[in-house]
Amino acid sequence: MPSINNFLKGFSDGLPGMKDFQHASRLYIDDNFKLLPKQKFLFHVVFTIDNTIPARPFSNEERLELNMLVKSCELPKYDMNLEEKLQYNKKVYVGTRIKYNPVNIVFHDDHADTVNAFWKSYYEYNIADSLSVNNTGIVDIAKDDMYKKNRSATQFGMDNAQKRGKPFLKSVQIFVLHKKTFTGFTLVNPIIGSFSHDNLDQTDGGGLMTNTMQLFYETVLYSAGRVDGVSVPGFATLHYDKEPSPLSVLGRGTTSIFGPGGIVDGIGSVIGDVSTGNISLGTILTGINTYNNAKKINAKQAVKEELKGIVKEGVIDIGKQAGTITNPVGSFSIGTVAVAGAAVAALAGSKSLSDGKNPNNRIISNPILNTQLYLTPTESFNLIQSNLVARDKVAAGIYYKLVGSRKGLTITQSEVEYAATTNDVKNVYRNRALTDTTKLVSDGFIKIDRQGNEVGIVAERAGL
Protein backbone atom coordinates (compact mmCIF):
# COMPACT_ATOMS: atom_id res chain seq x y z
CA MET A 1 0.00 0.00 0.00
CA PRO A 2 1.49 3.41 -0.93
CA SER A 3 2.66 5.55 1.94
CA ILE A 4 4.17 8.99 2.48
CA ASN A 5 7.54 7.34 3.09
CA ASN A 6 7.55 5.87 -0.41
CA PHE A 7 6.59 9.27 -1.79
CA LEU A 8 9.48 10.98 -0.03
CA LYS A 9 11.88 8.17 -0.93
CA GLY A 10 11.42 9.04 -4.57
CA PHE A 11 12.90 12.47 -3.95
CA SER A 12 15.80 11.13 -1.90
CA ASP A 13 16.68 8.71 -4.71
CA GLY A 14 17.28 11.62 -7.08
CA LEU A 15 14.11 11.30 -9.14
CA PRO A 16 12.61 14.43 -10.71
CA GLY A 17 10.48 16.34 -8.26
CA MET A 18 10.94 18.73 -5.40
CA LYS A 19 14.29 20.55 -5.52
CA ASP A 20 16.22 22.74 -3.16
CA PHE A 21 15.36 26.44 -3.65
CA GLN A 22 19.05 27.23 -4.02
CA HIS A 23 19.15 25.49 -7.40
CA ALA A 24 17.45 28.58 -8.83
CA SER A 25 20.02 30.95 -7.38
CA ARG A 26 22.59 30.02 -10.03
CA LEU A 27 20.85 32.41 -12.40
CA TYR A 28 21.95 35.31 -10.22
CA ILE A 29 25.34 34.27 -8.81
CA ASP A 30 27.12 32.84 -11.87
CA ASP A 31 29.62 34.94 -13.84
CA ASN A 32 30.24 37.41 -11.02
CA PHE A 33 26.53 38.02 -10.37
CA LYS A 34 26.11 39.46 -13.87
CA LEU A 35 22.35 38.67 -13.98
CA LEU A 36 21.65 39.89 -10.46
CA PRO A 37 18.90 42.55 -10.47
CA LYS A 38 20.05 46.09 -9.74
CA GLN A 39 19.15 47.77 -6.45
CA LYS A 40 16.68 50.66 -6.64
CA PHE A 41 18.37 52.81 -4.00
CA LEU A 42 21.71 53.08 -5.81
CA PHE A 43 21.43 56.05 -8.16
CA HIS A 44 22.77 59.55 -8.77
CA VAL A 45 21.08 62.43 -10.61
CA VAL A 46 22.94 65.35 -12.20
CA PHE A 47 21.22 68.61 -13.21
CA THR A 48 23.20 70.64 -15.76
CA ILE A 49 22.20 74.31 -15.31
CA ASP A 50 23.29 76.96 -17.79
CA ASN A 51 25.03 79.55 -15.61
CA THR A 52 25.39 81.98 -18.53
CA ILE A 53 21.69 82.86 -18.50
CA PRO A 54 20.41 86.02 -16.72
CA ALA A 55 19.19 84.22 -13.62
CA ARG A 56 20.47 83.54 -10.13
CA PRO A 57 23.82 81.74 -10.57
CA PHE A 58 24.37 78.49 -8.70
CA SER A 59 27.70 77.76 -7.06
CA ASN A 60 29.40 74.42 -7.64
CA GLU A 61 28.57 73.39 -4.08
CA GLU A 62 24.87 74.18 -4.56
CA ARG A 63 24.79 72.17 -7.78
CA LEU A 64 26.33 69.15 -6.09
CA GLU A 65 23.92 69.43 -3.16
CA LEU A 66 20.93 69.70 -5.51
CA ASN A 67 22.00 66.46 -7.18
CA MET A 68 22.22 64.71 -3.82
CA LEU A 69 18.79 65.86 -2.59
CA VAL A 70 16.89 63.66 -5.05
CA LYS A 71 14.78 61.27 -2.99
CA SER A 72 13.32 59.23 -5.83
CA CYS A 73 13.40 59.38 -9.59
CA GLU A 74 11.60 57.71 -12.46
CA LEU A 75 13.47 56.38 -15.46
CA PRO A 76 12.35 57.23 -19.02
CA LYS A 77 9.29 55.51 -20.43
CA TYR A 78 8.25 55.32 -24.07
CA ASP A 79 4.98 54.86 -25.93
CA MET A 80 4.95 53.85 -29.58
CA ASN A 81 2.02 55.11 -31.65
CA LEU A 82 1.04 52.25 -33.95
CA GLU A 83 -1.62 52.14 -36.64
CA GLU A 84 -3.27 48.95 -37.78
CA LYS A 85 -3.25 48.47 -41.55
CA LEU A 86 -4.64 45.74 -43.76
CA GLN A 87 -2.10 44.41 -46.21
CA TYR A 88 -4.16 42.24 -48.55
CA ASN A 89 -6.41 41.42 -45.57
CA LYS A 90 -3.37 40.64 -43.41
CA LYS A 91 -3.12 42.81 -40.33
CA VAL A 92 0.15 44.71 -39.97
CA TYR A 93 1.15 47.48 -37.60
CA VAL A 94 2.98 50.61 -38.75
CA GLY A 95 4.78 52.91 -36.35
CA THR A 96 3.93 56.57 -36.81
CA ARG A 97 5.59 58.30 -33.85
CA ILE A 98 7.21 57.84 -30.47
CA LYS A 99 6.07 59.53 -27.28
CA TYR A 100 8.48 60.26 -24.44
CA ASN A 101 6.52 60.07 -21.22
CA PRO A 102 7.37 62.67 -18.55
CA VAL A 103 9.69 61.74 -15.69
CA ASN A 104 8.78 62.53 -12.07
CA ILE A 105 11.56 63.49 -9.66
CA VAL A 106 10.99 63.88 -5.91
CA PHE A 107 13.34 66.07 -3.85
CA HIS A 108 13.85 66.37 -0.12
CA ASP A 109 12.71 69.86 0.96
CA ASP A 110 15.91 70.82 2.77
CA HIS A 111 16.42 73.44 5.50
CA ALA A 112 18.83 75.41 3.31
CA ASP A 113 16.13 75.79 0.63
CA THR A 114 18.47 74.49 -2.04
CA VAL A 115 15.64 72.87 -4.02
CA ASN A 116 13.33 75.87 -3.54
CA ALA A 117 16.09 78.20 -4.78
CA PHE A 118 16.48 76.03 -7.87
CA TRP A 119 12.74 76.19 -8.60
CA LYS A 120 12.58 79.94 -7.86
CA SER A 121 15.35 80.62 -10.38
CA TYR A 122 13.65 78.50 -13.03
CA TYR A 123 10.26 80.08 -12.27
CA GLU A 124 11.46 83.68 -12.43
CA TYR A 125 13.53 83.01 -15.55
CA ASN A 126 10.57 81.61 -17.50
CA ILE A 127 7.51 83.29 -15.94
CA ALA A 128 7.02 87.05 -15.54
CA ASP A 129 4.10 86.89 -13.08
CA SER A 130 6.28 86.97 -9.99
CA LEU A 131 7.96 90.24 -10.97
CA SER A 132 6.57 93.57 -12.15
CA VAL A 133 9.34 95.72 -13.57
CA ASN A 134 9.01 99.49 -14.10
CA ASN A 135 10.95 101.65 -16.50
CA THR A 136 13.88 102.05 -14.10
CA GLY A 137 14.21 98.31 -13.63
CA ILE A 138 13.17 98.40 -9.95
CA VAL A 139 10.73 95.80 -8.71
CA ASP A 140 7.27 97.30 -8.16
CA ILE A 141 5.18 95.47 -5.58
CA ALA A 142 2.04 97.61 -6.16
CA LYS A 143 0.28 95.99 -9.10
CA ASP A 144 -3.14 97.60 -8.65
CA ASP A 145 -3.06 99.92 -11.68
CA MET A 146 -6.54 99.22 -13.07
CA TYR A 147 -7.59 102.92 -13.13
CA LYS A 148 -4.19 104.37 -13.94
CA LYS A 149 -3.65 106.05 -17.26
CA ASN A 150 -0.45 104.13 -17.94
CA ARG A 151 0.02 100.59 -16.64
CA SER A 152 3.16 100.19 -14.55
CA ALA A 153 3.55 96.53 -15.50
CA THR A 154 2.85 95.13 -18.93
CA GLN A 155 4.63 91.79 -18.90
CA PHE A 156 2.87 88.73 -17.55
CA GLY A 157 2.92 84.97 -18.07
CA MET A 158 5.50 83.80 -20.59
CA ASP A 159 6.25 87.40 -21.59
CA ASN A 160 9.13 87.44 -19.17
CA ALA A 161 11.26 90.46 -18.45
CA GLN A 162 14.44 88.84 -19.67
CA LYS A 163 13.96 87.44 -23.14
CA ARG A 164 14.80 83.77 -23.14
CA GLY A 165 17.61 82.94 -25.52
CA LYS A 166 18.66 79.69 -23.85
CA PRO A 167 16.92 77.00 -21.83
CA PHE A 168 17.50 77.03 -18.08
CA LEU A 169 18.36 73.31 -17.99
CA LYS A 170 20.77 71.85 -20.51
CA SER A 171 20.25 68.23 -19.50
CA VAL A 172 19.40 65.91 -16.65
CA GLN A 173 21.51 62.78 -16.24
CA ILE A 174 20.27 59.78 -14.26
CA PHE A 175 22.89 57.21 -13.29
CA VAL A 176 21.89 53.75 -12.06
CA LEU A 177 24.85 52.44 -10.03
CA HIS A 178 25.80 48.79 -9.75
CA LYS A 179 29.06 46.92 -9.02
CA LYS A 180 31.25 50.03 -9.45
CA THR A 181 29.71 50.65 -12.88
CA PHE A 182 26.80 52.76 -14.09
CA THR A 183 24.02 52.77 -16.64
CA GLY A 184 23.30 56.35 -17.69
CA PHE A 185 20.16 58.03 -19.06
CA THR A 186 20.54 61.61 -20.34
CA LEU A 187 17.33 63.62 -20.81
CA VAL A 188 18.02 66.12 -23.60
CA ASN A 189 16.64 69.68 -23.36
CA PRO A 190 14.37 68.98 -20.38
CA ILE A 191 11.52 71.35 -19.50
CA ILE A 192 9.66 71.39 -16.20
CA GLY A 193 6.02 70.53 -16.83
CA SER A 194 4.89 70.77 -13.22
CA PHE A 195 6.36 71.49 -9.81
CA SER A 196 4.53 70.68 -6.57
CA HIS A 197 5.36 71.70 -3.03
CA ASP A 198 4.33 69.35 -0.23
CA ASN A 199 1.29 69.50 2.07
CA LEU A 200 1.47 70.69 5.67
CA ASP A 201 -0.19 68.76 8.47
CA GLN A 202 -0.04 69.47 12.22
CA THR A 203 -1.02 65.89 13.01
CA ASP A 204 1.93 64.41 11.10
CA GLY A 205 4.74 64.68 13.62
CA GLY A 206 7.12 62.36 11.79
CA GLY A 207 6.53 63.40 8.19
CA LEU A 208 9.30 64.78 5.98
CA MET A 209 8.58 67.42 3.36
CA THR A 210 9.29 66.87 -0.31
CA ASN A 211 9.06 68.72 -3.61
CA THR A 212 7.90 66.93 -6.75
CA MET A 213 8.89 67.92 -10.27
CA GLN A 214 7.75 66.57 -13.63
CA LEU A 215 10.13 66.80 -16.58
CA PHE A 216 9.39 66.67 -20.30
CA TYR A 217 12.28 66.07 -22.69
CA GLU A 218 13.09 65.76 -26.38
CA THR A 219 15.00 62.48 -26.43
CA VAL A 220 17.15 60.13 -24.34
CA LEU A 221 20.82 59.22 -24.67
CA TYR A 222 22.18 56.02 -23.14
CA SER A 223 25.65 55.41 -21.71
CA ALA A 224 27.54 52.95 -19.52
CA GLY A 225 30.95 52.76 -17.88
CA ARG A 226 32.97 52.73 -14.68
CA VAL A 227 31.97 55.00 -11.79
CA ASP A 228 34.46 57.82 -11.24
CA GLY A 229 34.47 61.57 -10.74
CA VAL A 230 34.51 62.23 -14.49
CA SER A 231 31.94 59.84 -15.94
CA VAL A 232 29.51 60.43 -13.04
CA PRO A 233 29.90 64.17 -12.25
CA GLY A 234 29.75 65.11 -8.59
CA PHE A 235 29.45 61.58 -7.23
CA ALA A 236 31.29 61.09 -3.90
CA THR A 237 32.59 64.68 -4.08
CA LEU A 238 30.70 66.55 -1.35
CA HIS A 239 29.33 65.35 2.03
CA TYR A 240 30.69 61.86 1.33
CA ASP A 241 32.34 59.73 4.00
CA LYS A 242 35.64 58.68 2.45
CA GLU A 243 37.07 57.18 5.63
CA PRO A 244 38.11 53.60 4.75
CA SER A 245 36.12 50.91 6.51
CA PRO A 246 38.10 48.87 9.07
CA LEU A 247 37.06 45.80 7.08
CA SER A 248 38.57 47.15 3.84
CA VAL A 249 42.22 46.73 2.91
CA LEU A 250 42.85 50.49 2.92
CA GLY A 251 41.40 50.63 6.45
CA ARG A 252 44.02 48.08 7.66
CA GLY A 253 42.01 45.09 6.43
CA THR A 254 41.64 41.68 8.03
CA THR A 255 43.72 38.52 8.34
CA SER A 256 41.22 36.56 6.24
CA ILE A 257 42.74 35.08 3.10
CA PHE A 258 39.74 35.19 0.76
CA GLY A 259 37.22 37.33 2.65
CA PRO A 260 36.48 41.04 2.15
CA GLY A 261 39.48 43.13 3.16
CA GLY A 262 41.60 39.97 3.27
CA ILE A 263 44.93 39.07 1.73
CA VAL A 264 43.68 38.14 -1.74
CA ASP A 265 41.42 41.19 -1.80
CA GLY A 266 44.41 43.41 -1.05
CA ILE A 267 46.59 41.74 -3.67
CA GLY A 268 43.88 42.09 -6.29
CA SER A 269 43.43 45.77 -5.43
CA VAL A 270 47.14 46.50 -5.81
CA ILE A 271 47.45 44.58 -9.07
CA GLY A 272 44.32 46.27 -10.41
CA ASP A 273 45.78 49.73 -9.71
CA VAL A 274 49.08 48.75 -11.29
CA SER A 275 47.47 47.30 -14.42
CA THR A 276 45.38 50.45 -14.94
CA GLY A 277 48.28 52.78 -14.15
CA ASN A 278 46.25 54.29 -11.31
CA ILE A 279 49.04 54.03 -8.73
CA SER A 280 48.67 56.38 -5.77
CA LEU A 281 49.40 56.62 -2.09
CA GLY A 282 46.30 54.50 -1.50
CA THR A 283 47.87 51.71 -3.58
CA ILE A 284 51.00 51.82 -1.46
CA LEU A 285 49.06 51.84 1.82
CA THR A 286 47.01 48.90 0.59
CA GLY A 287 50.20 47.00 -0.15
CA ILE A 288 51.63 47.77 3.28
CA ASN A 289 48.45 46.72 5.10
CA THR A 290 48.24 43.52 3.06
CA TYR A 291 51.86 42.71 3.87
CA ASN A 292 51.33 43.31 7.59
CA ASN A 293 48.16 41.21 7.64
CA ALA A 294 49.91 38.38 5.81
CA LYS A 295 52.44 38.22 8.65
CA LYS A 296 49.63 37.69 11.15
CA ILE A 297 48.08 34.69 9.40
CA ASN A 298 48.10 31.55 11.52
CA ALA A 299 48.90 29.15 8.68
CA LYS A 300 51.74 27.08 7.39
CA GLN A 301 55.03 28.91 7.13
CA ALA A 302 55.26 28.26 3.40
CA VAL A 303 51.90 29.92 2.79
CA LYS A 304 52.85 32.87 4.97
CA GLU A 305 56.13 33.40 3.13
CA GLU A 306 54.44 33.14 -0.27
CA LEU A 307 51.78 35.71 0.64
CA LYS A 308 54.31 38.06 2.22
CA GLY A 309 56.53 37.82 -0.84
CA ILE A 310 53.82 39.14 -3.12
CA VAL A 311 54.18 42.63 -1.68
CA LYS A 312 57.61 43.83 -2.67
CA GLU A 313 59.83 45.38 -0.03
CA GLY A 314 60.30 48.38 -2.26
CA VAL A 315 56.63 49.28 -1.92
CA ILE A 316 56.99 49.31 1.86
CA ASP A 317 60.06 51.52 1.68
CA ILE A 318 58.12 54.00 -0.45
CA GLY A 319 55.22 53.85 1.99
CA LYS A 320 57.52 54.91 4.83
CA GLN A 321 58.37 58.02 2.80
CA ALA A 322 54.80 58.65 1.64
CA GLY A 323 55.00 62.31 2.55
CA THR A 324 57.60 63.00 -0.13
CA ILE A 325 56.18 60.90 -2.95
CA THR A 326 55.82 62.74 -6.24
CA ASN A 327 55.82 59.91 -8.76
CA PRO A 328 55.50 56.50 -7.10
CA VAL A 329 55.33 54.77 -10.49
CA GLY A 330 59.02 55.19 -11.09
CA SER A 331 60.02 54.17 -7.59
CA PHE A 332 59.42 50.45 -8.01
CA SER A 333 58.87 47.92 -10.75
CA ILE A 334 56.29 45.19 -10.97
CA GLY A 335 57.94 42.51 -13.08
CA THR A 336 57.61 39.02 -11.68
CA VAL A 337 55.80 40.33 -8.61
CA ALA A 338 52.75 41.08 -10.75
CA VAL A 339 53.00 37.67 -12.38
CA ALA A 340 53.16 35.98 -8.98
CA GLY A 341 50.29 38.10 -7.75
CA ALA A 342 48.27 37.28 -10.84
CA ALA A 343 48.17 33.65 -9.77
CA VAL A 344 46.61 34.60 -6.45
CA ALA A 345 44.32 37.13 -8.15
CA ALA A 346 43.17 34.38 -10.50
CA LEU A 347 42.37 32.26 -7.47
CA ALA A 348 40.31 35.13 -6.11
CA GLY A 349 38.62 35.43 -9.48
CA SER A 350 37.54 31.82 -9.43
CA LYS A 351 35.91 32.43 -6.06
CA SER A 352 34.19 35.73 -6.71
CA LEU A 353 35.17 37.70 -9.79
CA SER A 354 34.29 35.00 -12.28
CA ASP A 355 31.61 32.67 -11.00
CA GLY A 356 30.87 33.56 -7.40
CA LYS A 357 31.35 30.01 -6.16
CA ASN A 358 31.34 29.15 -2.49
CA PRO A 359 32.60 25.68 -1.54
CA ASN A 360 30.45 25.70 1.62
CA ASN A 361 27.04 26.05 -0.02
CA ARG A 362 24.75 23.53 -1.68
CA ILE A 363 24.38 25.35 -4.95
CA ILE A 364 25.28 23.51 -8.16
CA SER A 365 28.78 24.72 -8.99
CA ASN A 366 29.44 23.42 -12.50
CA PRO A 367 27.68 25.11 -15.45
CA ILE A 368 26.07 22.83 -18.02
CA LEU A 369 28.13 22.76 -21.24
CA ASN A 370 26.43 21.90 -24.52
CA THR A 371 28.97 19.37 -25.81
CA GLN A 372 27.20 19.17 -29.16
CA LEU A 373 28.12 22.77 -29.88
CA TYR A 374 31.26 23.27 -27.79
CA LEU A 375 34.39 21.29 -27.00
CA THR A 376 34.68 19.58 -23.63
CA PRO A 377 37.41 20.74 -21.21
CA THR A 378 39.70 17.87 -22.28
CA GLU A 379 39.08 18.48 -25.98
CA SER A 380 39.74 22.19 -25.49
CA PHE A 381 43.07 21.43 -23.80
CA ASN A 382 44.08 19.07 -26.62
CA LEU A 383 43.18 21.72 -29.19
CA ILE A 384 45.29 24.55 -27.76
CA GLN A 385 48.28 22.24 -27.44
CA SER A 386 48.47 21.93 -31.21
CA ASN A 387 46.58 25.02 -32.41
CA LEU A 388 48.63 28.14 -31.65
CA VAL A 389 45.91 30.49 -32.91
CA ALA A 390 43.38 29.03 -30.50
CA ARG A 391 45.93 29.14 -27.68
CA ASP A 392 46.56 32.83 -28.32
CA LYS A 393 42.81 33.53 -28.23
CA VAL A 394 42.51 31.73 -24.90
CA ALA A 395 45.50 33.73 -23.65
CA ALA A 396 43.71 36.92 -24.69
CA GLY A 397 40.67 35.72 -22.76
CA ILE A 398 42.78 35.17 -19.64
CA TYR A 399 44.23 38.65 -20.11
CA TYR A 400 40.70 40.04 -20.20
CA LYS A 401 39.78 38.10 -17.05
CA LEU A 402 42.78 39.32 -15.04
CA VAL A 403 43.45 42.76 -16.52
CA GLY A 404 40.91 43.99 -19.06
CA SER A 405 37.78 43.40 -16.99
CA ARG A 406 39.36 45.15 -13.98
CA LYS A 407 40.04 48.19 -16.16
CA GLY A 408 36.45 48.31 -17.37
CA LEU A 409 37.38 47.37 -20.95
CA THR A 410 35.11 45.46 -23.28
CA ILE A 411 36.34 42.12 -24.62
CA THR A 412 37.24 43.72 -27.95
CA GLN A 413 39.14 46.58 -26.30
CA SER A 414 40.99 44.08 -24.10
CA GLU A 415 41.96 41.99 -27.14
CA VAL A 416 43.37 45.09 -28.84
CA GLU A 417 45.36 45.96 -25.72
CA TYR A 418 46.63 42.37 -25.44
CA ALA A 419 47.73 42.39 -29.09
CA ALA A 420 49.83 45.50 -28.40
CA THR A 421 51.73 43.93 -25.48
CA THR A 422 55.26 42.55 -25.76
CA ASN A 423 56.01 38.91 -26.53
CA ASP A 424 57.23 38.38 -22.97
CA VAL A 425 53.84 39.40 -21.62
CA LYS A 426 52.03 37.29 -24.21
CA ASN A 427 54.12 34.24 -23.33
CA VAL A 428 53.05 34.55 -19.70
CA TYR A 429 49.39 34.32 -20.66
CA ARG A 430 50.04 31.65 -23.31
CA ASN A 431 51.61 29.47 -20.63
CA ARG A 432 48.62 30.15 -18.38
CA ALA A 433 46.38 29.03 -21.22
CA LEU A 434 47.96 25.58 -21.08
CA THR A 435 47.45 25.28 -17.34
CA ASP A 436 44.08 27.02 -16.94
CA THR A 437 42.05 26.10 -20.03
CA THR A 438 40.49 22.98 -18.55
CA LYS A 439 39.25 24.88 -15.49
CA LEU A 440 38.11 27.93 -17.46
CA VAL A 441 36.03 25.77 -19.80
CA SER A 442 34.60 23.84 -16.85
CA ASP A 443 33.68 27.13 -15.16
CA GLY A 444 31.99 28.38 -18.31
CA PHE A 445 34.30 31.38 -18.76
CA ILE A 446 35.62 30.10 -22.11
CA LYS A 447 33.69 28.23 -24.80
CA ILE A 448 35.32 26.81 -27.95
CA ASP A 449 33.03 26.21 -30.91
CA ARG A 450 33.15 22.61 -32.11
CA GLN A 451 32.87 23.43 -35.81
CA GLY A 452 35.09 26.45 -36.36
CA ASN A 453 37.15 26.24 -33.14
CA GLU A 454 36.22 29.84 -32.39
CA VAL A 455 37.08 30.86 -28.83
CA GLY A 456 34.30 32.71 -27.02
CA ILE A 457 34.62 34.66 -23.77
CA VAL A 458 31.66 35.03 -21.43
CA ALA A 459 31.25 38.79 -20.94
CA GLU A 460 30.19 40.01 -17.53
CA ARG A 461 27.64 42.46 -18.95
CA ALA A 462 26.17 43.66 -22.19
CA GLY A 463 27.53 46.91 -23.61
CA LEU A 464 25.41 50.01 -24.08
Read off the pLDDT of residues 24-39 as tens digits, 9 standing for 90 and up.
Answer: 667 787 777 888 899 9
Q: Is residue 366 part of a domain?
A: no
- Return phi, psi of residue 423, to 5°: -65, -30
* Residue 424 lies in domain: 377-457
Q: Does residue 78 share a domain with residue 101?
A: yes
Q: Are 66 and 126 members of one domain?
A: yes
Least confident of 18-32, 226-240, 336-350: 336-350
Minimum mean pLDDT among 188-197, 232-241, 445-454: which range? Answer: 232-241
Q: Which contacts qualify for 291-300: CB closer than 8 Å, 24 or more apart?
A: 291/315, 291/316, 292/252, 293/252, 293/253, 293/254, 293/255, 293/262, 293/263, 293/266, 294/263, 296/255, 297/255, 297/257, 297/263, 298/255, 299/257
pLDDT digits (tens, 9 = 90+) for 175-203: 999 988 899 999 999 999 999 999 999 99
Asked if residue 322 has pLDDT above 90, the reply is no
Q: 443 pLDDT band (50/70/90 cuts)?
A: confident
| 381 is a domain residue | yes
Instruction: Work out how many domains the chain is built from and give that number.
Output: 4
**Of 141-150, 194-203, 213-222, 369-378, where does mean pLDDT reach its minimum?**
141-150
Q: Does residue 272 sit in the same domain as residue 335? A: yes
- CB-CB neighbours of 185 under 10 Å: 19
Residues 339, 404: one domain?
A: no
Q: Binning pLDDT at 50, 70 and 90, where does residue 329 land? A: very low
Are residues 9 and 96 located together in one domain of the fold?
A: no
Residue 336 pLDDT more than 60?
no
Residue 406 has pLDDT above 90, yes or no: no
Report the pLDDT value the prediction gives residue 143, as an integer from 0 to 100: 57
Are 64 and 213 part of one and the same domain? yes
**Cα torsion for 341, 347, 349, 351, to the nearest 10°?**
-150
Q: Which region among 47-61, 300-314, 418-432 has the lowest average model confidence (pLDDT)?
A: 300-314
Question: Which of 200, 226, 252 marks a domain boundary?
Answer: 226
What's the CATH code of the domain at 100? 2.30.110
3-state SS assignment for residue 18: coil
pLDDT of the residue at 163: 57
**Residue 260: per-residue pLDDT:** 56
pLDDT 10s digits, 254-274: 655 555 556 566 666 666 666
Same domain, 92 and 180: yes
